[in-house]
Structure 1
Amino acid sequence: MSTEITFEKVIKKYGDNTVIPALSLRVQPSEFFTLLGPSGCGKTTLLRMVAGFNSIEGGEICFNKKAINASSPQDRNIGMVFQNYAIFPHLTVKKNITFGLENRKIKLSKADIEKKVATMMDVVQISQFKDRLPENLSGGQQQRIALARAIVIEPSVLLMDEPLSNLDAKLRVDMRNAIRDIQKEVGITTLYVTHDQEEAMAVSDRIAVMNLGKIQHVGTPQNIYHRPANVFVANFIGRTNIIERELQFNGEIATLVFDDNHRVVLNSLDTTNYETRTVKISIRPEEFIIAENNEGIRGQVLNNMFLGLNTHYNVQLVDGEQVEIIQESTIGQIIEPGTWVGLKIKADKINVFEYESELSITKGVVNNVQ
């Protein structure tokens, strides 16, 4: 049976310093759930609390509604994959994977161990290397050993702490795809920690974006990207332009005033405050449209960067603000620095936030923070 992980008002302190204040969260059975955030946000601390490596100063962590706070790490039935692999250099691939099974409280027969290890080596695609020592394998192959060793013991929960950070860029992409496929095949509840937003979006069923020990947004990768709950999430996930503009109302009809020449009527707001006010808005670079006949928001191209599929532009608006724009590359149509252009925006893609609270007032935000 797959395991549900629940966090009920969990607190972590170091002396008088509270680094995780009363955090609540639910990870669903068989879910690939990622804790995402900048360095120091508390994501690895929370993972180590689940593993039993860090103490819990308040609240409860439960597996299938059974509290594990007082359980020792070896009694929690977890598998863990570390950033540095932590495999035994003097043991072959096969013996590395076998190690955990041979040292379990419930002893298995030699035949059962052989069968489980052979199956797991097939799952992670390292059977052909079974008699090699780790030093003779690539980083990606070593990480597959670590993954196989963690899963072969059939843990209730798989914990992964920045498992791809030591790999080069191409291998990271290959391994994140492999990890996602293996997790789905095995069906184990997985809690994954990373600071890499692209990695998180590629592998996760859901993501919790953390900052300063608090969860800012819990949702699917698509929802977090397109409808961030607040300005921090909008800035952290992907690339965006955060600018301030006046939000005007005529009754319940909302209009964003970009400049004297361009206004956008919004049908996507979730607010009962119909007072004209300054708000913060998030516009992703790909959501700008360079308009024909220079219609829309006026700006001057400062520079361009051709990156194959897309071309990136930095554009200075008439009020002095700079925005980043990404356009699909077309043959012979790169806009040169110094050119004045008009910009339009896909209105349904704009995210609007209250100025002081920086919380979204845009329809479609799905935030499962408890």
Structure 2
Amino acid sequence: MSVAISFRDVVKKYGELKVIPELSLEIKKGEFFTLLGPSGCGKTTLLRMIAGFNSIEGGTIQFNDRVINQVAPGKRNIGMVFQNYAIFPHLSVIGNVAFGLQNRKVSKEEIASRVDEILNVVQINEYKDRMPDKLSGGQQQRVALARAIVIRPDVLLMDEPLSNLDAKLRIDMRNAIKEIQQEVGITTVYVTHDQEEAMAVSDRIAVMKSGIIQQVGSPQEIYQRPSNVFVATFIGRTNIIDATLIQDGSGYNLKLGSNYQESFAQLNVPSSKAGSTIAVQVSVRPEEFVISDVGTGLKATIVSSIFLGLNTHYFVTLESGQRVEITQESTTGAILTPGSTVHLTIKKEKVNIYNEVGEVNYSGGGRP
């Protein structure tokens, strides 16, 4: 059980429209891999291509060394968990979980053993005789997950499985799904538009936009070194500030606003003459600002604040008129009041500097 999945120049077309153009990707055996992106970016289309529900107009998809382009969905040995659970209302928990095994002509003794085992894994054994209408949303989701896993598929596909749950239950279930996946060790491809959910469950994430993978990496890599401005703004919160780079000998000075500069010994900037100025965009996450009442840095005015216990969020206006968000660890001191003037510096080792159009990360960000 469990396979590596390879995509080689995969194309999906609807008529003359290419919704996925020449996509290549490697998913490792046993990893929890998430396709993340906004609605309409092609992530569910790609998932359905893995399942065999959508045709493939170019390239190949392989399970290990086996090309599956023309393999019928029922022959791919895939388990699926849908957004709406799709459990049978007329069958008990046991009946739902056993359904796939019965279709595969597994013996009654083995069905009983495997169903009992998986119900314990997903922690719903005590509800095994209940009907679906007597279960909570989280319990129904566990039934759907058990039914998908009990057939011992090579790949588990999950399409927005938590979107119908309330906020607290989503957190509980995403933790449970990750723990169950680790215990079972199955290659899992998970689709979501929720970046926090993706960060919480994934070994690696592929961020998609318009059918094109923008970046693949671990949650930490994608958050800390996003490949372009789209990824930076889609994963977490960030402030995008126009700035200039001035080459100074072997290094660079980053100028933000009228008076504030930070030096960088090395950036991946195309070669340019000493003293030349390059327009850039800088991604500064809220926690990468430092507030000071000393007269250095970017001058800013406090607009409002939100106290959230461990952290306090400030919304400020820069001299340029741009509004930015700042997160600071809460202290025993008073919260800064609206109208207060402060100065902001940046944690320069953490910010990301992009070219003028936001497509190239000069700070060494990841690539697709």
Give the TM bin, normalised by the shorter chain: over 0.9
Q: Contact 1:268 / 1:348 at 8 angstroms: preserved in 2? A: no
User: d(CA) in 2 for partners of 1:82 and 1:260?
Assistant: 53
Q: Contact 1:294 / 1:343 at 8 angstroms: preserved in 2? A: no
Q: Contact 1:81 / 1:147 at 8 angstroms: preserved in 2? A: yes
Match of 2:24 in 1: 24
User: d(CA) in 2 for partners of 1:2 and 1:126?
Assistant: 24
Which shifted more, 178-187 or 283-292?
A: 283-292
Task: Note the C-alpha offset of 1:322.
Answer: 1.4
Match of 1:245 among 243, 246, 269: 243
Q: How does 1:105-116 map to 2 (within 5 A)?
A: 107-116=105-114
Match of 2:66 in 1: 66
User: d(CA) in 1 for partners of 2:225 and 2:62?
Assistant: 30
Match of 1:53 in 2: 53
Alignment partner of 1:306 is 2:307: yes
Amino acid at match of 1:180: K
Amino acid at match of 1:279: V
Task: Note the C-alpha offset of 1:291.
Answer: 1.4
Q: Contact 2:281 / 2:358 at 8 angstroms: preserved in 1? A: no
Q: How does 1:1-370 map to 2 (within 5 A)?
A: 1-104=1-104, 107-267=105-265, 269-274=267-272, 275-356=276-357, 358-363=359-364, 365-367=365-367, 369=368
Task: Note the C-alpha offset of 1:358.
Answer: 2.1
Q: Contact 2:85 / 2:161 at 8 angstroms: preserved in 1? A: yes
Question: What is the TM-score of this pair, normalised by structure 1?
Answer: 0.96
After TM superposition, which residue ranges in structure 1, 4 or more long, deviate above 6 angstroms? none
Which shifted more, 269-278 or 169-178?
A: 269-278
Task: Note the C-alpha offset of 1:251.
Answer: 1.7
- Determine helix, strand or coil for the equivalent of 1:349: coil
Task: Note the C-alpha offset of 1:357.
Answer: 5.5
- Determine helix, strand or coil for the equivalent of 2:294: helix
Task: Note the C-alpha offset of 1:154.
Answer: 0.3
In structure 1, stretches of 5+ residues that fail to align are none
Task: Note the C-alpha offset of 1:309.
Answer: 1.8
Q: Contact 1:217 / 1:228 at 8 angstroms: preserved in 2? A: yes
Task: Note the C-alpha offset of 1:260.
Answer: 3.4
Q: Contact 2:269 / 2:362 at 8 angstroms: preserved in 1? A: yes
Deviation digits for residues 310-333 of structure 1, max 9, x if unmatched?
111111111212111111112342
- Determine helix, strand or coil for the equivalent of 1:53: coil
User: d(CA) in 1 for partners of 2:284 and 2:306?
Assistant: 19
Amino acid at match of 1:276: T
Question: What is the TM-score of this pair, normalised by structure 2?
Answer: 0.97
Amino acid at match of 1:197: Q
Q: Contact 1:44 / 1:193 at 8 angstroms: preserved in 2? A: yes
User: d(CA) in 2 for partners of 1:295 and 1:82?
Assistant: 53
Q: Contact 1:302 / 1:337 at 8 angstroms: preserved in 2? A: yes
Task: Note the C-alpha offset of 1:268.
Answer: 5.0
Amino acid at match of 1:348: E
Amino acid at match of 1:324: E
Which shifted more, 25-34 or 245-254?
A: 245-254
User: d(CA) in 1 for partners of 2:67 and 2:44?
Assistant: 20
Amino acid at match of 2:39: S
User: d(CA) in 1 for partners of 2:40 and 2:258?
Assistant: 43
In structure 2, stretches of 5+ residues that fail to align are none
Cα-Cα RMSD: 1.1
User: d(CA) in 2 for partners of 1:27 and 1:268?
Assistant: 33
Task: Note the C-alpha offset of 1:267.
Answer: 3.3
Q: Contact 1:280 / 1:358 at 8 angstroms: preserved in 2? A: no
Deviation digits for residues 260-297 of structure 1, max 9, x if unmatched?
33111123522342342110110000110101424321
User: d(CA) in 2 for partners of 1:311 and 1:289?
Assistant: 13
Amino acid at match of 2:319: V
Amino acid at match of 2:67: A
Task: Note the C-alpha offset of 1:91.
Answer: 0.5
